[in-house]
């Protein structure tokens, strides 16, 4: 793949990973991903970010089609995570840049991960401007969006934002721009990425969007470090609208039932809960935690506001994959959820109460008592599951219609 022109003297030179199936070790990426890097040619030639170490040769090849890599004067490191900075040591060795720009936390992270002796590192402050000839770059810190070192770079004259991990998606395709891609697939990829990466930092997303508005920044192009590039006003508006909605997490009329079953009893209970939801007009998704990666629950929560979890009991606790689901959801801190718990047992039966307590700890509004079945489930226990589904569904409809 050749370098891709974004605007005069501004190029994409990154890499496409078509085979990535596990992003950051917890988010499934069935479409792979991209590691985006960008070149700006001016009196000072600037490389914005690098790529995963595995794809360093591709990066250098694409740079070479624009200029000799030794002609790169500056490197801007918006973020030091390895998928963006994994090849930085080799790039510095080849390019011998005059300066390497990063945030204060970026310098700390850079020195902790790489042998930076002799590197011309220059820390930039929030709001600092850098002239590179005809153009000026403004650096804006975006701490904890999603790392302490994160910042974005705004190319003022061209109205281009190199947005780091913000606004990214896991998409691997020969297309480089959003307007060349299906909007429905894009929306799904944005939600998958946001709910598994950015969600805990939603308050910071809203503050960042507000700050951009107050600064009066305008955009012709938003170029993230993963996925497709936004270059039309319609797509940029869609991007900001979608991010604000995901960050505010309004109630949505859909439920997620996730379960793990040892011998099939809890599975029967899960489907009875689903019948209860359906009886009051609430659509739902059922996820078997043993057959699906735990991030699938977060993917579905992007369009849902009810979380109902169930598990068999083994060794006085929920099954291991359900524990993974709980840990993943808990760490990502979704808001505005109603829910409940259920499960089966053969000996002691602690699982439903333990799940219920975890839901409460997550901030989920539990609207029904846990339901548990001894072996079974018998007719009465299935009826209790059906009624649990109804209670959750009716509570959710009240929230949506409030």
Catalytic residues: 24, 79, 81, 83, 146, 165, 193, 226
Distance, in Å, from the CA atom of 312 to the CA atom of 318, rounded to the nearest integer, reads: 6
Distance, in Å, from the CA atom of 388 to the CA atom of 163, rounded to the nearest integer, reads: 44
* Beta strands 33-35; 4-7: pairing state: unpaired
Q: How many helices (H) and strands (E) does the chain have?
A: 12, 24
Distances (CA, A) of 14 to 22, 114, 233, 336, 342: 19, 21, 24, 38, 47
The answer to whether the Cα torsion of 44, 48, 53, 54 is positive or negative is: negative
DSSP letter at 228 equals P
- Name the token pair of 292: 């699906």
Q: Give 73's contacts (C-beta < 8 A, 6+ positions apart).
A: 44, 45, 46, 97, 98, 99, 132
Nearest C-alpha neighbor of 48 from the set 56, 40, 58, 38? 38
Place of tokens 């918006």: 78
DSSP letters along 183-205, please?
HHHHHHHHHHHIIIIIGGGHHHH
Decide: helix, strand or coil at residue 19.
coil
SS3 breakdown of the chain: % helix, strand, coil, rounded to 5? Answer: 40, 25, 35
Asked if 55 contacts 15 with a C-beta cutoff of 8 angstroms, the reply is: yes
Decide: helix, strand or coil at residue 159.
coil
Asked if 91 contacts 58 with a C-beta cutoff of 8 angstroms, the reply is: no
Backbone torsions φ then ψ of 340, nearest 5 degrees: -170, 175
Asked if 42 contacts 135 with a C-beta cutoff of 8 angstroms, the reply is: yes
């Amino acid at each position: 793949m050749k370098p891709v022109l974004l605007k005069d003297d501004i190029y994409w030179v990154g890499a496409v990973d078509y085979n990535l199936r596990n992003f950051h070790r917890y988010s499934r990426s069935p479409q792979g991903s991209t590691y985006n890097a960008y070149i700006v040619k001016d009196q000072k030639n600037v490389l914005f970010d690098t790529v995963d170490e595995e794809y360093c040769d591709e990066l250098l090849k694409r740079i070479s089609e624009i200029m000799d890599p030794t002609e790169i004067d500056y490197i801007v490191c918006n973020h030091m995570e390895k998928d963006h900075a994994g090849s930085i040591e080799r790039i510095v060795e080849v390019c011998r840049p005059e300066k390497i720009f990063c945030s204060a936390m970026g310098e700390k992270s850079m020195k902790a991960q790489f042998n930076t002796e002799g590197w011309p590192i220059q820390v930039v402050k929030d709001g600092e401007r850098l002239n590179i000839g005809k153009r000026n770059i403004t650096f804006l810190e975006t701490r904890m969006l999603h790392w302490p070192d994160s910042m974005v770079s705004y190319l003022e004259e061209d109205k281009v934002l190199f947005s780091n991990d913000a606004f990214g998606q896991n998409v691997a395709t020969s297309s480089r721009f959003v307007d060349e891609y299906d909007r429905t697939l894009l929306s799904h990829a944005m939600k998958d990425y946001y709910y598994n990466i950015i969600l805990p930092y939603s308050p910071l997303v809203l503050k960042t969007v507000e700050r951009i508005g107050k600064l009066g920044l305008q955009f012709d192009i938003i170029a993230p470090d993963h996925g497709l590039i936004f270059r039309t006003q319609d797509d940029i508006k869609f991007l900001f609208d979608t991010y604000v909605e995901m960050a505010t997490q309004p109630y949505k009329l859909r439920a997620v039932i996730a379960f793990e079953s040892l011998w099939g009893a809890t599975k029967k209970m899960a489907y009875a809960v689903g019948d209860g939801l359906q009886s009051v007009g609430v659509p739902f998704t059922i996820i078997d935690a043993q057959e699906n990666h735990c991030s699938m629950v977060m993917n579905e929560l992007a369009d849902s506001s009810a979380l109902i979890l169930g598990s068999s009991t083994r060794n006085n606790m929920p099954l291991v994959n359900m524990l993974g689901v709980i840990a993943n959801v808990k760490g990502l801190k979704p808001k505005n959820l109603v829910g409940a718990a259920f499960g089966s047992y053969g000996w002691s039966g602690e699982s439903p109460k333990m799940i219920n307590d975890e839901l409460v700890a997550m901030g989920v509004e539990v609207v029904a008592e846990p339901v548990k079945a001894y072996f079974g489930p018998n007719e009465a226990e299935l009826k209790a599951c059906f009624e649990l589904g109804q209670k959750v569904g009716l509570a959710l409809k009240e929230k949506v219609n409030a």
